[in-house]
Amino acid sequence: MSGEKQKRIEISILGYSRLEVLSSHLSPAVVMASEKEAALAAVPSDSPTIFDKIINKEIPSKVVYEDDKVLAFRDISPQAPTHILIIPKVKDGLTGLSKAEERHCDILGRLLYTAKLVAKQEGLEDGFRIVINDGPKGCQSVYHIHLHLLGGRQMNWPAG
């Protein structure tokens, strides 16, 4: 997909680019030019995130799966032909994987199982990748745990 076409798609989805949306949850003085900079500028907190606004239908998204525990929707800046974010509906202090406690085992398992269901639904029988970014050096820009489901093309190794 050309950069121009992707840019038009991003604008048509929310009226803003991914970085503009992410930056709206950061200090107004922060101007970011990349996902890496967005991650380095993001501040972990239990405050509502962009994902909370998506869960509450305050921000539109292209939902591909929803149940009482999780929500899966298309990423507005896809890194593969299929790029879906899978999030728990209740954060419960789980801002990132490094914050997981034993009480989070059920929701973590549910997120992975949902990834399997969505991958099948999306026709990714030949394979897919699951990514969890954690912390600034892991390039996490939204502090509400989430899985990236990537597929539809040959993945490379090493990742990142």
Residue whose C-alpha is closest to residue 8's, from 77, 84, 64: 77
Question: Is 146 a known active-site residue?
Answer: yes
**For residue 126, is pLDDT > 70?**
yes
Q: Name the catalytic one among 83, 144, 146, 148.
A: 146
Average pLDDT, the chain: 83
The DSSP code sequence of 35-84 is HHHHHHH----SS--HHHHHHTTSS---EEEE-SSEEEEE-SS-SSSEEE
Q: What is the predicted pLDDT for the residue at 133?
A: 97
Percentage of residues of the chain with pLDDT beyond 70: 79
Q: What is the predicted pLDDT for the residue at 14?
A: 44
**Confidence band, pLDDT 50/70/90 cuts, at residue 65:** very high
